[in-house]
Amino acid sequence: MKSIGHETCFSYLGNKETVAELFGEVAPKIASRPGGYTRVIRTGFRKGDGAEMAMIELVDYNDIMVSASKATSPELVTKRRTRRSSKKAKTEDATEPNVGETSESSSEENK
């Protein structure tokens, strides 16, 4: 049974899957919150019409999701990313043989 809140939310969002997720999964998890703790993150201006854009995030919702996922999954696997070799190291390797060749050729010219 849909309430008026569902219809109002759908009129703003325009996506029934998003409304279903909001009222089905998110709403029960945050129903016991004592207040509306939100964070507004400004994302800049939209290219088309220059309207200012922002994302709204529930402050402790991510903490709730992390604790819920730890409870459901036996072990979280974290991957460490390694950095790729820098361009500076590649250019140094490329220039070293050239430097050696030029110094040998200049020493031969000096003889």
The pLDDT tens digits of the residues spanning 69-91 come to 565 555 555 666 677 766 665 56
Q: What is the largest CA-CA distance in the chain?
A: 97
User: In Å, what is the CA distance from 78 to each residue of 81, 102, 108?
Assistant: 10, 48, 57
Residue 25 lies in a domain: yes
Q: Which domain holds residue 13?
A: 1-32
Considering its fold, how many domains does the chain have in total?
Answer: 1
Asked if residues 51 and 45 have their Cβ atoms less than 8 Å apart, the reply is yes
Task: Examine residue 14 and state whether it is found in any structural domain, yes or no.
Answer: yes
**Is residue 64 over pLDDT 90?**
no
- pLDDT level of residue 46 (50, 70, 90 thresholds): very high
Q: Within 10 A of 19 (CB to CB), how many other CB atoms are there?
A: 20
Residue 65 lies in a domain: no
What global pTM score does this model have?
Answer: 0.39
